[in-house]
Amino acid sequence: MSHLPASIALHRPEQLTTLVENRTVYSLEAFELNVFETHRMAHQVPLSMGHVVLTTMLRGKKVMHLQGRPAFEYLPGESVVVGENETMVIDFPEAAEERPTQCLAVAIPTDTIRQTVDLLNEEQPLAEATHPWHLDLLDHAHFQNTPELTGTLERLVQLSARDTGRVKDVLASFTIQEMLVRLMQTQARQLLFHNYTQHLTSHRFAAVVHYIKQHLTEQITVEKLSELACMSKATFFRIFKRELGITPVEYIIRERLAEAKRLLRQPLITVADVCFRAGFNNTGYFQKIFKQYEGVTPGVYKKQCVS
């Protein structure tokens, strides 16, 4: 599923000041939230925010041009982190009055980032001293949203748009710190879940991810995973979740669901066969967990894929 924050109402035509990157700003002490809308096709539109920015697509499609990187399509359910002095150059190849683009952009002061990172490295250091908490502005700056990051973004939007009185900025400060943690956890997942083979000798959780992928259809115990990580079971469970934002058990479920979706796209395989070949040992549980994560049953998903 694409993890999108709750929808934000578009402006009516008479409310727009421009058809390209119409901007609505909510300024708080801890961050600045911007909502951009584009209602007509445009190309090579420059945008610089003056801060580190987390952008998240809500509607439509952009093509992003960032310095030193190939151009890429930017779609709903994805986010991009942009550096403090970086200029985005954006194409809107499909934007139209009936098909506008909409994007969130959270501008974060450098001091807020530094204080959050320093606090985490001092109070909650990562398992590997060579991989401290940090915000990656290059290698893992474009990624699919996670449910955890999406939930925090939703709270930022709700907080920005309503008047909560004198405590608003206090709540905003806590929420932006949580968003930064969720963002770094999301990037850590990118690093380990997709590039784990590059870190097998330098990161203990890379070995854990490798084992899970190699034994996905077998019974996988937390005891075995904690042994691979050279940690006690309790310590492993706690630190894995702290660093990556999900538990080891939830990661195994998500990997098995990804394999199930791959198998369901094959026209001749049955849902029951998919259940067991993806590592689930109970069809009722498989049906339940698949719908919980994907929003539809395996049977409906299969019909959508092969029709």
pLDDT at 307 over 70: no
pLDDT band at 164 (very low <50, low <70, confident <90, very high): low
Determine what percent of the chain falls in helix, strand and coil, rounding each to the nearest 5: 45, 20, 35
Interatomic CA distance for residues 256 and 164, integer angstroms = 42
Backbone φ, ψ for residue 218 (5° rounding): -105, 170
Domains of the chain: 13-193 (2.60.120.280), 200-307 (1.10.10.60)
Express each pLDDT in 5-19 by its tens digit.
888 999 999 999 999
Q: Which residues pair with 63 in a beta bridge?
A: 73, 91
Torsion of CA 157, 23, 48, 187, to 10 degrees: 30
* Of 219, 222, 217, 192, the residue nearest 207 (C-alpha): 192
Amino acid at 304: Q
Edge-to-edge strands, sheet with 101-108: 22-27, 32-38, 101-108, 52-59, 78-82, 142-144
pLDDT band at 64 (very low <50, low <70, confident <90, very high): very high
Express each pLDDT in 182-238 by its tens digit.
999 999 998 888 889 888 888 999 999 999 999 999 999 999 999 999 999 999 999
Interatomic CA distance for residues 12 and 278, integer angstroms = 47
Residue by residue, DSSP assigns 148-181 as HHHHHHHHHHHHHHS--GGGHHHHHHHHHHHHHH
Express each pLDDT in 113-161 by its tens digit.
999 999 999 999 998 888 899 999 888 899 999 999 999 999 999 998 8
Residue by residue, DSSP assigns 58-87 as EES-EEEE-TTS--EEE-TTEEEEE-TTPP
Query: What is the total residue count of the chain?
Result: 307
As given in the structure block, the two tokens for residue 274 are 């998919």
Q: Round to the nearest angstrom and report the end-to-end CA distance of the chain.
A: 19
Q: Which long-range CB contacts under 8 A does 245-251 form with residues at least 24 apart?
A: 245/146, 245/148, 245/182, 245/185, 245/186, 245/188, 245/189, 246/148, 246/189, 248/208, 248/212, 248/222, 249/222, 251/193, 251/209, 251/212
As given in the structure block, the two tokens for residue 15 are 């409310």
Interatomic CA distance for residues 215 and 2, integer angstroms = 27
Backbone φ, ψ for residue 93 (5° rounding): -75, -20
As given in the structure block, the two tokens for residue 47 are 């945008």
As given in the structure block, the two tokens for residue 133 are 């908490």
pLDDT at 2: 58
pLDDT at 265: 94
pLDDT at 202: 87
pLDDT at 253: 96
pLDDT above 70 coverage of the chain, percent: 98
Amino acid at 106: V
Amino acid at 254: R
As given in the structure block, the two tokens for residue 116 are 């959050």
pLDDT at 260: 97
pLDDT at 1 over 60: no
Q: Is residue 166 within 8 Å of 110, Cβ to Cβ?
A: no
- Dihedral sign of CA atoms 67, 68, 74, 80 in order: negative
